[in-house]
Chains A and B, each alone.
Chain A
Amino acid sequence: MSMVLFDVPGPKARARHKIMAVIGIAAVLAVLVYVIMRFIATDQFSARRLSWINYKQIQLSLVEAIGNTLSAFAVGAVLALAFGAIFAAARLSDHAWVRAPAAVIVEIFRAIPLVIMMFFFYYGLPVAGVKLTAFTAVVVSLMLYNGSVLAEIFRAGINSLPKGQSEAAYALGMRKTQVMVLVLLPQALRAMLPTIISQLVVLLKDTALGFLITYEELLRWGTRIGGDAVNFGRPMISVMILVAAIYIGLCLVLTWLANYLEKRNRRNKKVIHLDHAEPLALNEVKV
């Protein structure tokens, strides 16, 4: 807890909290027991419905599906970071003719739903003779959307660096590009690292939208195996529990990385600590 909204509980409050805790646990347990009873009553964990785990081809296809999810994530992340850096720099340009179009592009791509972008690249563009695979459509959409969000994060990070940084760099005789590339961007990058990584968590989750344009990623694998009536009698519940666990695990690893870097940053005196970092992280809500 970063702050305390309540007094240290006294004996009476402690007793009351204990009762409430019991009620809370009981409520959660009741829900859990009910769900598990439904699982049992509808036979979700029968031998047949769990037997999919045993097949070599299914294990291999699971590994392949995770690989597809991760490769879309990796390529999408690299492209989005590059896109973000370029457009952040463009939005901070001294020339209005660079600044304005960059601002418009970033605003527009943040406003269009990713699903619509993916549809556009996968179903729309071929009408005009441009052919993209599902993978490309997913990755390009991820780049445009998350790149635009990252551009705003970078820009906010650079803006919040003390003015002395760029002034000192100019005083040393650096050009604008040098100031940006050598002085401002690296510092902004380090200071904003936790925010950037939580945006990457969003990107990782968004790869699952590839499901909608038939990209063979983890979720699509899950619906295929989970919907198999012929061999396993539709083991959707058990498969989806596994798929959700994998996604949550992957995201938590990234989140853990963000927290670790934040802690290391805090100890590191070389990093400039931004006062606005917190409200900014707040406003760029990751959904």
Chain B
Amino acid sequence: MSVLTNNLDLFLRAFGQTLQLFAVSGVLSLLLGTLLAALRVSPVPVFRGIGTMYVTVLRNTPLTLVFVFFLFAYPLLEIVKIEPYTAAVVALSLYTAAFVCEVVRSGVNTVPVGQAEASRALGLTFVQMLGTVVLPQALRSVVPPMTSTMIALLKNTTVASGFAVFQAGTIRDSLSEQGENVLFGLLWVAIGFVVLVMPLTYAQQVFEKRWSVAR
């Protein structure tokens, strides 16, 4: 217990950074992922190909490798200098976007074809149809798996530990530097994540139960 109380400030700051990293990458990956999903269901084969390519590459690459790339390989190209924090956001967003894309696409696939056909009969364009008919309906089957994706993103922020980004995963370094008990420190970090993730998991199950009945 003393590890936590003596270093409460450290724990709070670190988890604050974790949440910040999570929020920024979450928003960015949702935007990019939805855009990619639109590409993947679009009528232009080339767009579908681009979307598929992106998803295949990013989904099959370890996140740690994406981090290594943006921290140690990308700077060699001398394009735009980025801070480790920015690199972490970019890595997390690009990686998570591939999963967001798949969730959205699967959600779109659960909307009956008749809906799309009816909106076409009404003369809606592809973009109008996606935006006003299909996506809002897809939302209910998208929310539970999207919550899972976001839980995964929250946990994945700890990968930044090896890459000079201060967050909950680096609490161990600070504790070890001060000669504190690392074992209990890490236990508290784990408890912190359980506390953060549990409500999300619970919400996900509620969504799932409530909305899976509808179809």
Contacts and interface: CB of A to CB of B under 8 A. Distances in A.
B117 to A, nearest CB: 8
Contact of A112 (B44, B103, B193): B193
B156 A247 contact: no
Nearest to A276: B212
B166 interface: no
Interface stretch (B5-13, B83-91, B179-187): B179-187
B47 A208 contact: no
A232 interface: no
A3 to B, nearest CB: 5
Given A21-B44, A42-B76, A212-B162, A3 B145 contact: no
Q: How large is the interface on B (under 10, 10 to 19, 20 to 34, 35 or more residues)?
A: 35 or more
A111 B126 contact: no
A94 to B, nearest CB: 22
Interface string A105-140: 001101111111101100111011000000000000
Given A284-B148, A287-B99, 16 more contacts: A5-B43, A13-B43, A25-B46, A38-B77, A41-B78, A42-B78, A44-B76, A107-B198, A115-B158, A116-B169, A209-B62, A219-B62, A240-B68, A244-B57, A283-B145, A283-B208
11 contacts: A1-B41, A38-B77, A42-B78, A44-B76, A112-B193, A205-B61, A212-B162, A237-B73, A244-B57, A252-B60, A287-B148
Interface of B: 41, 43-47, 50, 56-57, 59-65, 68-69, 72-73, 76-79, 96, 99, 102-103, 106-110, 113, 116, 120, 126, 129-130, 134, 141, 144-145, 148-149, 151-153, 155-159, 161-162, 168-169, 172, 176, 181-183, 185-187, 189-190, 193-194, 197-198, 201, 204, 208, 212
